[in-house]
Amino acid sequence: MKKVIYIITVATGLTFLGACKNTFDAPNKSALDASVVFSTPGLAQSAIAGILQSFGEQNSYRGRYLVYYGLNTDVEVASSLKDVTTVKSTLTNYNTSSNNTEMSEYKNAWAKFYEGIERANIAIAGLRKYGNVESNPDMAQILGEVLTLRAVLYNDLIKGWGNVPARFEPITSETAYIPRSDKDVIFKQLLADLDEAASLLPWPNETAVTSSVEHVNKAFAKGLRARLALYAGGYSKHLDGETRLSNDPDLSREKMYTIARDECIDIINSKKLNLLSFEQVFRTLCEETNKAGLESMWEIPFADGRGRVLYNLGVEHKTKDKYTQQAQGGDNGPNPAIFYDFDKDDVRRDVSVVPYLWDGGIQVPSSLNKLYFGKYRYEWMKRIVTADNDDGLNWMYMRYADVYLMAAEAINELQSPSEAAPYLQKILERAFPTRADKVTAYMAEATKSKGDFFNAIVDQRAFEFCGEMLRKADLIRWNKLGEKLRESKVKLQQLNNREGKYASLPKKIYYKNNGEDIVIYGLNYGDTDAIGQGLSGYSAKDWKLSPETDAVKYWDGLFVKDPDSQPVWPIWDYFILNSNGTLNNDNF
């Protein structure tokens, strides 16, 4: 087993940018072992564990990427929004610098992503050379999984940092230092890789391995390919500094939307996945069922003592109680305006946005400037979290609802709103299970034109995926990041001042407890202070975002610089200084 670990982790010292030294003195030894490891399914399977280790390291997805990427938008915000100058806040308010001390160090997300990519590159090379994947389905499945995991890492590198180095072969002394590539180069490779991966992988539950959402399967590879095709066919800042669509004919909008449509239709026609009720999707996640073939398509697996999904994104428990021995939650939360954008009959609202926290074992009202993602709840778990810093809940990377909405978007773009309508309607019918009349009325408006249908997709992706950190990348590919953030800034100010569409909302909320649960009046349009003040047994609480005395108003914390000018993070100084002059932040 030491030989297996050696091959898997030879990349650990090769953090790609010279962070560690003397890394090229042992390849011959590892090459001798590769013929055994990558021709034996049980040993080759360990390569997947080695790659996933890079996902779960302290400052990888667990403590950095999932904590900061995706904030701030019209859907998700950092809870400390008014602290605009701290190193943490600048990561989310479009004003970070390359010397950010929260990120610029050798074991951070950038290094860990490339560590995982190098481990994948070594495994892919070994499997292609020794794995006999053409005739051995077990080895083919492993190759498909490794190709897909590498695509996940590159997807998140591009989302986080834009145009990054393209490295698809194991590092040698000659290739230790390479410059950034335009993201088009990476997209083309990943689209080919995922096409191959899908041909190698079984559908969910077709093998013992694919019975768990902690292993990738054909449906996820196809879904990820669809997502990457939409990114590749959308707007982004390229290596020349221009924000535009790709000018590579292989990545034309029509070709990319065709890939997205075809992959999504294949997944739906397979009937290998199921839409659950909306609340059950997230109860199933928190209950750690891990069963494939439901709505979750793949999850980043975290051990019980690793991962901070609840810790950073869950409903806060201010004190230890019967549901958790970790007094934590809610470092980030919903943009308050999104709550009031939801229709009150949309069942997604009260699952996605929670206006209370737990204190002393009961629910108490939070504040308008600190709402919580109700999709992640300690109280839904079957085990008690006891660790101080980690909760072990998996991160749901993709779910089946995304396939329907990607299909709807692509079919509208390529064909017509009427042909796209059934895929959007499927999601709306789940959102309004008792209000078919509202679904009918909404669809009638949405299908009037391609533009109306696209606007419906923009809105419904916000409602469906609140708290799942997909919004920023969606807004960037639609070229709507700055537009939506400026629009949200106005909404938040109007909400605070009860102006515009918010003018009739109560200035306070009124609440009481029913056992450990809270009952709140004053959150819906049509509620009034006059009625609230007359409710027997209810207490009142001011419901504002930003007192007049605040030096920085809540809404001004959304962005400091124009979001369109800095939609991604710079490469951190640590890695530039250790790149032998090959890396820079020109036009980032």
β-bridge mates for residue 77, sequence order: 333
Residue with token string 């042992």: 26
pLDDT of residue 24: 29
CA–CA distance, 63 with 68 (Å, rounded to integer): 9
At 70, list the tokens.
Answer: 């995706």
- For residue 559, what pLDDT is reported? 96
- For residue 3, the one-letter residue type is K
| Cβ atoms of 189 and 166 closer than 8 Å | yes
Pair of tokens at residue 161: 């940092």
Among candidate residues 582, 91, 2, the one with its CA nearest the CA of residue 331: 91
What's the confidence (pLDDT) of residue 4? 40
* Burial annotation 156-169 (CB, 10 A radius, 16+ → b, else e): bbbbbbbbbbbbbe
Helix (H) or strand (E) holding 477: helix 471-477
What is the rounded CA–CA span in Å between residue 360 and residue 327? 10
Residue type, 301: P
Nearest to 528, CA basis, from 545, 507, 497: 507
Q: Which residues contact 86 (CB under 8 A, 6 or more apart)?
A: 80
For the chain, percent helix, then strand, then coil, each to nearest 5? 50, 10, 40
Query: Looking at residue 25, what is its pLDDT?
Result: 34
Q: What is the pLDDT of residue 17?
A: 37
Which one, of 409, 241, 385, 254, lies nearest residue 310 by Cα? Answer: 385
CA distance 532 to 538: 8
Helix (H) and strand (E) counts for the chain?
Answer: 22, 13
In angstroms, the CA 96 to CA 93 distance is 8
571 near 104, Cβ under 8 Å?
Answer: no
CATH class of 205-301+394-479: mainly alpha
Which residue in the block uniquely carries the two structure tokens 């609230």? 532
CB burial string 253-281: b at 16+ within 10 A, e below: bebbbbbbbbbbbbbbeeebbebbebbeb
- Are the C-beta atoms of 565 and 96 separated by less than 8 Å? no
Write the single-letter amino acid at 298.
Answer: W
Cα Rg for the chain, rounded, in angstroms?
24
Sorted by where each begins, the domain ranges of the chain are 205-301+394-479
SS3 of 523-571: the string is CCECECHHHHHCCCCCEEEECCCCCCCCCCCHHHHCCCCCHHHCCCCCC
Alpha carbon distance 453, 455 (integer Å): 5
Amino acid at 166: A
Three-class DSSP category at 341: helix
Q: Could you tell me which residues are beta bridge partners of residue 358? A: 317, 363
CB-CB contact of 321 with 363 (8 Å): no
User: What tens-digit pLDDT sequence spans the chain (588 residues)?
Assistant: 333 433 444 433 333 333 332 332 333 444 448 999 999 999 999 999 999 999 999 999 999 999 999 999 999 999 888 889 999 999 999 999 999 999 999 999 999 999 999 999 999 999 999 999 999 999 999 999 999 999 999 999 999 999 999 999 999 999 999 999 999 999 999 999 999 999 999 999 999 999 999 999 999 999 999 999 999 999 999 999 999 999 999 999 999 999 999 999 999 999 999 999 999 999 999 999 999 999 999 999 998 888 999 999 999 999 999 999 999 999 999 999 999 999 999 999 999 999 999 999 999 999 999 999 999 999 999 999 999 899 999 999 999 999 999 999 999 999 999 999 999 999 999 999 999 999 999 999 999 999 999 999 999 999 999 999 999 999 999 999 999 999 999 999 999 999 999 999 999 999 999 999 999 999 999 999 999 999 999 999 999 998 878 888 999 999 999 999 999 999 999 999 999 999 999 999
